[in-house]
Each structure stands twice: as structure tokens, then as C-alpha cells.
Chain A
Amino acid sequence: MKNIILENKTALQQLVSAIQELSLSKDLETVMKIVRSVAKNITGADGATFILRDGDMCYYAEEEAISPLWKGQRFQMSECISGWVMLNKQSTVIEDIYSDPRIPIEAYKPTFVKSLAMVPIRTVAPIGAIGNYWAEQHLPTKHELEMLQSLADITAVSIENLNTLSNLEKTVKQRTQELEFANQELESFSYSVSHDLRAPLRAITGYMRMLEEDHSEILNEDAKQLVEKSLTNAKKMNELIEGMLQLSRMGRKELIKAPVAMKQLAENVFKSLSENGEHKSIDLTIDNLPNVQADETLIRQVWTNYISNAIKYSSHKSTSKIHIGSQESEDKITYFVKDNGAGFDMKYSDKLFGVFQRLHSPEEFEGTGVGLSIVKTIAKKHGGNVWADATPNEGATFYFSLPKD
């Protein structure tokens, strides 16, 4: 009596640990291997098989036995005991296989099998079966059979989970591919458009120049001015196309991340920007900025855009005041460039980072409206973000955040 309890406990423990293992398995192969071993152990059988339903066929997918059974073979559902179990949605025990009409004797002759027990995996619309086999005539206990059925039920849940998971993964993969494709299409489209748009523009500019240089004697002042205006507009269009090209290049560029000394970088950018302009002196405050893991070339572009904007939009003030600083939180660092310039109305703030969006007229401040959208692309590529704060005529603060690594 003591012995039986002990054996039962072992079988139960096996079942419990099988449940734990099954819940962690990531593929069908693992599930089948766990199940066939556990099935054999909890009933003390000489062999166990894992059968999957494949349309009208029973597929013997896995086995563990004292000598080979039918691994890798397929049988008609109607000519196989596992098929009978699946079709009848119930388990069966056969003490003497040679006296049961449901058994295809020829298939069993080469094997050791004398007795068997078979349980369906999932009782509503079974998807497979678990078979146990004995070399000597044997009748498993009701308790053993119940445990075998429990194992089959858990297996059904595991397989369903696997299916759900793999469907989900497939969907995610497919969506990602679709998105990547659309993105690539868009980028190569805008690249070739910008490329091809430049050829006729070059011709327009070139011929206008020829007109200006080679035929100036037949052009009166009015005509010369019209030529000049055409050239100015062609130049503007070229800048817009250049901006588009830059943006599409940025979208396609791969990030090369390394530690970036932010304070030094911001100082260098400011220095080169304030040197080559004909600006009055600028009152610059630059805090100690934390370093960050990022693509330095791209981050330089961000600083260049933000700082040149700050210089540009504060140029109308008697003294330009620019403050470069940062804020640190648990998972990200936010850098900002604050100026005392023209600012903007916050009700247009959502338009600020869009392509070709401008909140000032070209007469007020020059620009193509590409700079901030490039900044946004760069920040997003790094997993960061951009935003701004402003009061008209008092100044603006532009932020970009980057994740800590």
C-alpha cells in the first residue's frame, strides 16, 4: 500500500513538473518530447507515442519506446486506433490487441506491443492522441488513465497557446514587413523624385544665366529683373529639393552609436555658427550637459538646426540670449535650446516639426521648413522625441530627448 502511494506521488509529481515545462516550451517539438516521456513514465509503459491529426491521416510524430514503433509514419484515420480515439472523442484501453477488430494487426506484428491505452488530445475536435504501449498484457489503472487524460488536456492547452503565439508572431512579422516596405518605397520615391526634379531645374537656371550673360545687350532693365526673379525662385526650389533629399537620406541612414560629449559638441556647433555669420554678439549660457550614446553626425545636425534657429529668430532683438541646458530623468535625457527671440503662437505647435511647415514668412525669417523635420526624424530614429515651448515675441525653447542606454 505504501509503495503504491509512493508510485502515485511520483507520477503526480511528474505530471506537475510536466505542466511547468510545457508552459515554458516555445515549439511543438519540445512539447511532443516532454509529453511522450512523461506519458510513458506516469503509467509505467514500455513505449509512448505522440500522434498528430493531419487531415484524414494520423501522423506518428514522436515516440519513446523499448524498440521502434511507427515514428514518422502516417495511417488513415479509419484504419488506426489513434484515428478511432480522435473520431470518437474518447479514450480506449485494449488489453489484448490481437483480439480487437479496431487494430490493424499487420502494423503491430513487427512491434513489441501486446496492450495499449490511447487518449485524445483535446476532447472537443481532437487534434491528436497520446498512446501508451506494453510488451506484456497489462491493464492500466483508472487512476493512471485519468492522469494520462490530464496530460493530454494540458497538452491541448499548450498547443493552442503555441498556435496563438505563432499566429501573433506571424502577424507582427507580416505587419513589420509591410511597414518596412512602405517606408522603403516612400524613401526611394522621395529620393528619386528629388533627384529627377533637379535636372530640369538645372536647365532652367543654366539657360537663365546664359540669357543674362550672353544676351544682356538686348535685355532692358525690366527683363533683367524678371530673369533675376526667375533665378531667385529656381534657387529657392533647389533648396527645397535639397531639403527633401536631406530628409530622405536621414531616414535611410543607419545609426552608428558611440558616446557623444554633448557639451563640447554643442559648443563647437555654436562656435562655427556664430563665426561664419555676420551676427552681433550673443549672450550664451551653456550648462554642463550629460553625455549620451548616439550617432554623433546626426546629433551634430540636431544641435546645428536648433542653435542656428535660436540665432536666427533672436536676431531682431537688441541682445540675443541663448541658453543651452538639459534635464535628466530615469530613462532619458532631455536637451534644450532656449532663446529670447520671436517665439511663436503655441496653437500652431503641432505644425512646427512637419515637413515644409513654416510659422514665419520668408520676408521675416529665411528658411525652407525642412530643418525641424530633420531634427524630428533624427530624434525618432534614436528612440527619442522633440517638442517646443514658446511665447510670441518673448522667445522659444526647443527640446529633444534621447533614451539612456
Chain B
Amino acid sequence: MENQEIEVILVEDNIDDATLVIRALKKNNLANNLIHLKDGVEALDFVFGTGTYENDGLQNQSPKVMFLDLKMPRVNGLEVLEKIKADPKTKSIPVVILTSSAEDPDIKKCYELGANSYIVKPVEFDSFIKAVSELGLYWLIRNHPSK
């Protein structure tokens, strides 16, 4: 794990939601190179190598996808998304929004800010497949070596 590149970033403050997402990813052999960040502050620190992740964090890696919860304390998902998409170094990271309702008005805002797709929680296999397919990342599931 240590020497492997981070492929999946999960930003989710709710520990139960995170557990379920990680399980869904595991079932698809996707949770191996995953990092779980517990709120927006951690996410930004990790992505930009600041705070607790100073001289560490993402560095020159290019993760395949970020799953980003919207409703988080301190710095929320919209703010994280805005910062990531505004920086040329990070804007190419595909971001999939995690929301608790398909009717969430924030989804529109997310797309305006450059989000690539969204999944309504609970994250189950079907919705997961749909979201990654939309991203053109279907190979990520199929070609991943099973362990």
C-alpha cells in the first residue's frame, strides 16, 4: 500500500456511509489503493499537500477518481470541489459527488463547478457502475487485478 499510488479518494464524514462505500468498492476490488478522508479540510490538505499532509499527500500522483460527500462540517463538498476544479494541477481529477437525494439542488451547482458525475447514497453496485461508466472509467473495474 505504501508504495502504491492512491487511485481512489473517498471524502466522507459519516463513518457508516464511508463503511458502506468502501465495502461496495471492495466488492469490486477497488478499495486497495483507497484513502478515506474524513472531511473537507482533510481533503484539501491531502490534495494540496498542506496542514497535516504537508510535504506528503497527493504530491505528483494522479488519482483515478474522487468520491466526494457534499454535507460535511467545516469545509463542505461544494467548497472542496470548487478549489480542486480551480487549480490546474488538480482539476483533471474526476470527481463523483455523493448525495443523499437525487433532488438535491446542490447537484446542479456541482455540475456547474465541474463535477463529473453523482451517486445517490446508499452507494450500491448498480449506481456505482453507472457513475463510473459515465466517467469513461469502466476499465477501472474490469481491468483491475483481483486479489
Contacts and interface: CB of A to CB of B under 8 A. Distances in A.
A245 interface: yes
Contacts of A245: 101, 103
A198 B16 contact: no
B100 A206 contact: no
B16 A249 contact: no
A205 interface: yes
Interface stretch (B17-25, B31-39, B46-54): B17-25
Contacts of A206: 16, 19-20, 23, 122
Contacts of B19: 206
Contact of A210 (B23, B71, B103, B121): B23
- How many A residues are at the interface, by size bracket? 10 to 19
Contacts of B127: none
A198 B100 contact: yes
B59 interface: no
Contacts of A195: 71, 100-101
A398 B122 CA distance: 37
B101 A203 contact: no
A230 to B, nearest CB: 15
A202 B17 contact: yes
Interface in A119-163: none
A219 B103 CA distance: 37
Contacts of B103: 245, 249
A202 B17 CA distance: 8
B23 A202 contact: no
Interface of A: 195, 198-200, 202-203, 205-207, 210, 245, 249
5 A-B pairs with least C-beta separation: A203-B16, A206-B20, A202-B122, A198-B100, A206-B122
Given A198-B100, A202-B121, 11 more contacts: A195-B101, A198-B101, A199-B14, A199-B17, A199-B100, A200-B16, A202-B16, A203-B20, A206-B20, A210-B23, A249-B103
